A and B are shown apart, each in its own frame.
Chain A
Amino acid sequence: MRLHGPVRPDDRSLAGLLDLLLCWAAGEVLARVLHLPLPGPVVGLVLLLAVLGVQSSRGGGGEVRSGPVADLLLRHLALLFVPAGVGVITYLSLLREQAVPVAFGLVLPLVVGVAGTGLVVDRLLRRRA
């Protein structure tokens, strides 16, 4: 990445960021207008995937221009969940009152969900190999 000199209008990382933001905006609009059962950012993910497909089929191989900004955002994805995560403290007393159903209601579905999906995909792939 060049850090010195004038910013050129064809700056690749700027174009990559704009691709990402446009897909996000379009995803929010589509989700709302079409009443999709998915949140705007997830629809934006699908749109960006389509854009990246078109870009790389046109431009041959090589790294897509949204790569650097996406890597930066995803590197610290965990950090972005902290403000919402702290919200759990507003439910501490309810969670304590209903500790048993909450604990089992969290743990059992978690185990069944992770194990179910993981085992099915892994074993089907192994049978194929």
Chain B
Amino acid sequence: MSTALALAGTLAAYRLALALADRLGRPALLNPVLLAVVLVGAVLLLTGTEYDDYFAAAQPLHVLLGPATVALAVPLHRQRARVRAVALPLVAGLAVGVVGAVGTAILVPRLLGAPEVLVLSLAPKSATTPVAIALAADAGGSPALTAALVILTGIGVAVAGPALLDLLGVRDPAARGFAMGVAGHGIATARALQDGEQPGAFAGLGIGLGALGTSVALPLLLLVGGG
């Protein structure tokens, strides 16, 4: 597949996803990442195109994730006074969220009789992709499967996170953004940025601290769980 076609097709799917969500009153389920992924995925399956061909051609878009992640420093810098003011609650929330998410990601599939390679691929999935892949490889999971599960987790948090936080009465924009970033990395951060600079900045902070927390918690929890 040519790069031009992959880029044009991906951009068209994204625009269509935005237009569709807009037309239908922006329901949470019509998340632009989810919708665009379904659209592009459907076209690949229908035309019998290999995913690897598409992904190689779409590299110019994919590599921008690098500078975009670095760019998260800017909203964080603009919110630096608030970050300093709430540092301790953030660390406490990080510990609870990471241990809870990684712990249940190991425990629940094991209890349901999932093969161990699936368990170990699920365990690091809240972390951002490169970290999750490295952690899965170390633990004995499948890096490629982990990449898919990371994406599904991010989409899940982007779709369900805001409603869940509403339900629990979590109103502070820093708490909301941070929870989204820690649990759902960059994809949920893209969603948090839609709500404003403060939730976006704290979600960006959550990506980094969530990755760090998962790197520390995962080996310890596997040790405790006898993995």
Contact = CB atoms under 8 A, between A and B. Distances in A.
A85 B151 contact: yes
B37 A121 contact: no
Contacts of A107: 156
Q: Is the interface of B mostly helix, strand, loop or mixed?
A: helix
Contacts of B211: 37-39, 42
B13 to A, nearest CB: 7
B70 A23 contact: yes
Contact of B14 (A53, A67, A79): A79
A46 interface: yes
B164 A114 contact: yes
A28 B148 CA distance: 23
Contacts, number: 332
Interface in B121-137: 122, 125-126, 128-131, 134
B187 A118 contact: no
Interface residues of A, number: 75
Interface in A50-83: 52-53, 56, 64, 66-67, 69-71, 73-83
28 contacts: A20-B70, A23-B73, A37-B211, A38-B215, A45-B72, A49-B76, A52-B77, A70-B72, A73-B64, A73-B68, A77-B189, A78-B33, A81-B186, A83-B55, A84-B55, A87-B144, A87-B151, A95-B148, A109-B105, A114-B165, A114-B184, A115-B165, A117-B94, A117-B96, A118-B93, A118-B175, A119-B93, A119-B170
Query: Which are the 6 A-B pairs with shortest beta-carbon distances?
Result: A117-B97, A113-B101, A118-B179, A101-B114, A41-B69, A70-B74
